[in-house]
Chain A
């Protein structure tokens, strides 16, 4: 049986100024466990996520979303100048969802934020803000959740906490598409991997295949800890 597509990218190209950010990316992302966009810094992971969310317009090519509401968690989430509770309530309002005290209570509980409900969101620690950002994204009850390097600035304990949350959210049936440059995290989280090099999709494969039998020379070089470029030459 063929899996249900969530996102279809067709020759997605993004040019900003003189720089080509995305180079004709073509891929189908299917329903299931988390999809990880992997690649070195500056390879276009964030731009591809934003293009899939509709936050940037492609120069050419198309991106089609086949599921309902999507939420996006930025690499550096911005907390609104209000309480934790009000940040969550605002996210629900923007999605046109009715206020629900039980949903709010569940979100606060699930993300261990109950004791901080009335604290100013901007006063939270980095890890707490990241948890709130994900909770806020979930308050919109999305079918699809984009996470841009969600643990980039967190310590090990907070990273473990966020990764556990990602696994729980995915188990609830929310499709997660996440970017990271951390190989270990990709291995721990991914169901399948899209590997990008300088804006080009070098490989798309299930996680196990990617890590144990990568087809592209760039992926093999990246997994070996080498610097990679489109043409396979060491930059």
Chain B
């Protein structure tokens, strides 16, 4: 393989390659935002409330962080297929289906990590907020705000997981050229076809995005420590 071919595809702004990158970012960012709203809410609720079976919920949330993408893909496929409960919407093999699959995949990650962060912060703040007579609803808002930098890091971790997974989007998206083909599915496909320059080019971009995401997480935390204490 000619290693320079991969970089020339990037430097020449190959339209096919950039369409794939654009769709990948759209799907993973959408899934991250949806999962962020659902997961942060769920994690906060579990952290700040006491109910029978709560420990069981915590264990399940933690266990689901390791949810296999292909299993999520299979379950979403069954739900969205023509004979499935959501088949009437006709969204199987569309980017929407891919967003749903990735959302389901990363909600447990965001919820479990949010629960841990919120519970730790609540342990620190409980006496102070109780002494101020802060209501439960306001308590959640205060904790979410004060945990904002940790939550950004958690969201970035969720995004990293979504952007890097291949099994779920392959199953529910179908890897249709120009429609549901994303970076990870393209890398798998092009590698199997022997088209290594495109696979390598996408690999470089994917790695760059992952490094950028981690750098951003680090920068956010460093900024937070300097400015918010």
Contact = CB atoms under 8 A, between A and B. Distances in A.
Interface of A: 53, 55, 71-72, 74, 77-82, 90-91, 94-95, 120-123, 140
Interface in B126-144: 127-128, 130-134, 138, 142
Given A82-B146, A94-B134, A140-B132, A121 B229 contact: yes
Contacts of A55: 127, 130-131
B1 interface: no
A80 B131 CA distance: 14
A72 B131 contact: yes
Contact of A82 (B124, B128, B130, B228): B228
Contacts of A122: 228-229
Contact of A94 (B138, B146, B228, B229): B138
A79 B229 contact: yes
B227 interface: yes
B228 A74 contact: no
List the 3 closest pairs (A to B, CB-CB), nearest first. Answer: A122-B229, A120-B229, A72-B131
A91 B130 CA distance: 12
B102 to A, nearest CB: 31
A91 B132 CA distance: 7
Given A94-B133, A94-B138, A81 B128 contact: no
A95 B138 CA distance: 12
Contacts of B146: 80-82
A77 B133 CA distance: 15
Nearest to B138: A94
Contacts of A81: 145-146, 228-229
B131 A71 contact: yes
A157 B124 CA distance: 28
A78 B130 contact: no
Interface string B50-88: 000000000000000000000000000000000000000
